[in-house]
Amino acid sequence: MTFSVAGLRELERSYRTAAAAMAKAEARAVRRAGATIVTRQARAIVDTVNLKVSAVKAAIVTKRQPTPDSPQVVFEVREKPISLIEYGGRGSWKGASVQVLKASGRKKVKGGFLTNSPQGAPQIWKRTGGPKRMMTKGRYAGQMREPIDKRFGPSILSQYIKDAIQQTGADTWAERLPIELERESDFALKQAGLI
Protein backbone atom coordinates (compact mmCIF):
# COMPACT_ATOMS: atom_id res chain seq x y z
CA MET A 1 0.00 0.00 0.00
CA THR A 2 1.39 3.46 -1.00
CA PHE A 3 0.44 6.86 0.40
CA SER A 4 1.16 10.14 -1.38
CA VAL A 5 1.97 13.34 0.55
CA ALA A 6 2.42 15.52 -2.53
CA GLY A 7 -0.73 17.41 -1.56
CA LEU A 8 0.81 18.41 1.79
CA ARG A 9 3.99 19.61 0.11
CA GLU A 10 1.96 21.64 -2.35
CA LEU A 11 -0.06 23.10 0.51
CA GLU A 12 3.14 23.99 2.40
CA ARG A 13 4.58 25.66 -0.73
CA SER A 14 1.36 27.64 -1.15
CA TYR A 15 1.49 28.81 2.47
CA ARG A 16 5.13 29.91 2.08
CA THR A 17 4.29 31.75 -1.15
CA ALA A 18 1.31 33.42 0.51
CA ALA A 19 3.40 34.45 3.55
CA ALA A 20 6.11 36.03 1.36
CA ALA A 21 3.50 37.78 -0.81
CA MET A 22 1.66 39.11 2.23
CA ALA A 23 4.87 40.47 3.79
CA LYS A 24 5.58 42.42 0.59
CA ALA A 25 1.96 43.57 0.43
CA GLU A 26 2.13 44.84 4.01
CA ALA A 27 5.28 46.85 3.23
CA ARG A 28 3.64 48.36 0.12
CA ALA A 29 0.51 49.23 2.11
CA VAL A 30 2.56 50.99 4.80
CA ARG A 31 4.51 52.88 2.10
CA ARG A 32 1.31 54.05 0.41
CA ALA A 33 -0.30 55.06 3.72
CA GLY A 34 2.90 56.96 4.61
CA ALA A 35 2.81 58.88 1.33
CA THR A 36 -0.79 59.88 2.05
CA ILE A 37 0.19 61.04 5.54
CA VAL A 38 2.90 63.33 4.13
CA THR A 39 0.48 64.81 1.61
CA ARG A 40 -2.28 65.44 4.15
CA GLN A 41 0.06 66.87 6.77
CA ALA A 42 1.63 69.17 4.17
CA ARG A 43 -1.82 70.41 3.16
CA ALA A 44 -2.76 70.95 6.82
CA ILE A 45 0.37 73.06 7.31
CA VAL A 46 -0.39 75.06 4.16
CA ASP A 47 -3.89 75.74 5.49
CA THR A 48 -2.23 77.72 8.31
CA VAL A 49 0.99 79.05 6.80
CA ASN A 50 1.35 80.97 3.53
CA LEU A 51 3.61 78.47 1.74
CA LYS A 52 3.33 76.21 -1.30
CA VAL A 53 2.63 72.52 -0.70
CA SER A 54 5.76 71.60 -2.66
CA ALA A 55 7.97 73.58 -0.24
CA VAL A 56 6.42 71.82 2.75
CA LYS A 57 6.63 68.34 1.19
CA ALA A 58 10.29 68.95 0.34
CA ALA A 59 11.00 69.47 4.06
CA ILE A 60 9.27 66.21 5.11
CA VAL A 61 11.62 63.40 4.13
CA THR A 62 10.98 59.66 4.39
CA LYS A 63 14.01 58.55 6.38
CA ARG A 64 13.26 54.81 6.25
CA GLN A 65 10.98 53.01 3.83
CA PRO A 66 9.11 49.87 4.91
CA THR A 67 10.46 46.44 3.96
CA PRO A 68 8.88 42.97 4.29
CA ASP A 69 11.06 42.37 7.38
CA SER A 70 10.39 45.79 8.91
CA PRO A 71 7.01 47.21 7.81
CA GLN A 72 7.40 50.70 9.26
CA VAL A 73 7.92 54.11 7.75
CA VAL A 74 9.97 56.83 9.46
CA PHE A 75 9.71 60.52 8.60
CA GLU A 76 12.24 63.24 9.27
CA VAL A 77 11.44 66.93 9.05
CA ARG A 78 14.31 69.17 8.05
CA GLU A 79 14.74 72.12 10.35
CA LYS A 80 16.18 74.28 7.59
CA PRO A 81 14.79 77.83 7.85
CA ILE A 82 12.69 79.11 4.96
CA SER A 83 13.40 82.48 3.41
CA LEU A 84 10.74 85.14 3.95
CA ILE A 85 10.40 85.50 0.18
CA GLU A 86 8.72 82.05 0.21
CA TYR A 87 6.00 83.46 2.48
CA GLY A 88 4.65 85.74 -0.23
CA GLY A 89 7.36 88.34 0.26
CA ARG A 90 7.27 91.40 -1.95
CA GLY A 91 8.54 94.93 -2.01
CA SER A 92 11.54 96.91 -3.24
CA TRP A 93 14.71 98.43 -1.86
CA LYS A 94 12.46 100.90 0.00
CA GLY A 95 10.72 98.20 2.06
CA ALA A 96 9.26 94.72 2.11
CA SER A 97 6.17 92.92 3.39
CA VAL A 98 5.17 89.29 3.95
CA GLN A 99 2.17 87.25 5.01
CA VAL A 100 3.45 84.34 7.11
CA LEU A 101 0.14 83.17 8.60
CA LYS A 102 -2.94 83.00 6.42
CA ALA A 103 -5.15 84.12 9.31
CA SER A 104 -3.21 87.35 9.76
CA GLY A 105 -2.80 90.04 7.16
CA ARG A 106 0.25 91.15 5.26
CA LYS A 107 2.82 92.80 7.52
CA LYS A 108 5.81 95.04 6.86
CA VAL A 109 9.26 93.73 7.67
CA LYS A 110 10.61 96.46 9.91
CA GLY A 111 13.79 97.76 8.34
CA GLY A 112 13.63 95.10 5.63
CA PHE A 113 14.01 95.50 1.90
CA LEU A 114 13.79 93.31 -1.19
CA THR A 115 16.76 92.88 -3.49
CA ASN A 116 18.55 90.09 -5.32
CA SER A 117 20.99 87.81 -3.55
CA PRO A 118 24.53 87.38 -4.95
CA GLN A 119 23.19 84.28 -6.74
CA GLY A 120 20.49 86.39 -8.42
CA ALA A 121 17.35 85.22 -6.58
CA PRO A 122 15.18 87.90 -4.94
CA GLN A 123 15.39 87.83 -1.13
CA ILE A 124 14.29 89.95 1.83
CA TRP A 125 17.20 91.49 3.71
CA LYS A 126 17.68 93.62 6.80
CA ARG A 127 20.64 95.67 7.97
CA THR A 128 22.42 94.08 10.94
CA GLY A 129 23.02 97.29 12.86
CA GLY A 130 26.63 96.23 13.38
CA PRO A 131 29.76 98.22 12.54
CA LYS A 132 30.51 99.02 8.94
CA ARG A 133 32.99 96.81 7.16
CA MET A 134 34.77 96.72 3.83
CA MET A 135 32.63 95.02 1.18
CA THR A 136 34.48 92.43 -0.91
CA LYS A 137 31.79 91.49 -3.47
CA GLY A 138 29.02 93.05 -5.51
CA ARG A 139 28.53 96.63 -6.59
CA TYR A 140 29.74 97.97 -3.23
CA ALA A 141 33.08 96.12 -3.34
CA GLY A 142 35.82 98.30 -1.84
CA GLN A 143 33.36 100.51 0.09
CA MET A 144 32.61 100.62 3.81
CA ARG A 145 29.00 99.50 4.31
CA GLU A 146 26.79 98.14 7.07
CA PRO A 147 26.37 94.35 6.63
CA ILE A 148 22.96 92.87 5.77
CA ASP A 149 21.34 89.53 6.68
CA LYS A 150 18.81 87.46 4.79
CA ARG A 151 15.55 87.14 6.76
CA PHE A 152 13.83 83.83 7.43
CA GLY A 153 10.35 82.77 8.51
CA PRO A 154 9.33 79.84 10.71
CA SER A 155 10.68 76.41 9.80
CA ILE A 156 8.42 73.55 8.72
CA LEU A 157 9.42 71.68 11.88
CA SER A 158 7.89 74.41 14.05
CA GLN A 159 4.56 73.78 12.31
CA TYR A 160 4.90 69.99 12.00
CA ILE A 161 5.17 69.42 15.75
CA LYS A 162 1.85 71.11 16.44
CA ASP A 163 -0.87 68.85 17.85
CA ALA A 164 -3.29 69.47 14.95
CA ILE A 165 -0.71 68.33 12.37
CA GLN A 166 0.22 65.27 14.39
CA GLN A 167 -3.47 64.41 14.78
CA THR A 168 -3.88 64.69 10.99
CA GLY A 169 -1.13 62.08 10.62
CA ALA A 170 -2.70 59.75 13.18
CA ASP A 171 -6.17 60.06 11.64
CA THR A 172 -4.81 59.42 8.15
CA TRP A 173 -2.93 56.34 9.35
CA ALA A 174 -6.06 54.92 11.00
CA GLU A 175 -8.15 55.63 7.91
CA ARG A 176 -5.80 54.64 5.07
CA LEU A 177 -3.88 51.63 6.43
CA PRO A 178 -6.82 49.17 6.44
CA ILE A 179 -7.80 50.27 2.92
CA GLU A 180 -4.25 49.93 1.60
CA LEU A 181 -3.76 46.57 3.36
CA GLU A 182 -6.90 45.14 1.79
CA ARG A 183 -5.97 46.44 -1.67
CA GLU A 184 -2.37 45.22 -1.53
CA SER A 185 -3.30 41.85 0.00
CA ASP A 186 -5.79 41.12 -2.77
CA PHE A 187 -3.23 42.12 -5.38
CA ALA A 188 -0.47 39.98 -3.80
CA LEU A 189 -2.65 36.88 -3.52
CA LYS A 190 -3.79 37.25 -7.15
CA GLN A 191 -0.18 37.66 -8.30
CA ALA A 192 0.79 34.52 -6.34
CA GLY A 193 -2.12 32.63 -7.97
CA LEU A 194 -3.74 31.85 -4.65
CA ILE A 195 -7.13 33.45 -5.38
138: Cβ contacts below 8 Å, ≥ 6 apart: 118
Digit-coded pLDDT (tens) for 12-47: 777 787 788 888 899 999 999 999 999 999 999 999
Digit-coded pLDDT (tens) for 95-146: 899 999 888 888 998 888 988 887 888 899 998 888 999 988 877 889 998 8
pTM, full prediction:
0.78
| Average per-residue pLDDT for the chain | 87
For residue 1, pLDDT beyond 60: no
H or E, element range at 134: strand 133-134
Query: At residue 167, what are phi and psi to the nearest 5 degrees?
Result: -65, -35
Each domain of the chain, given as residue ranges in start order, spans 9-79+157-191, 83-151
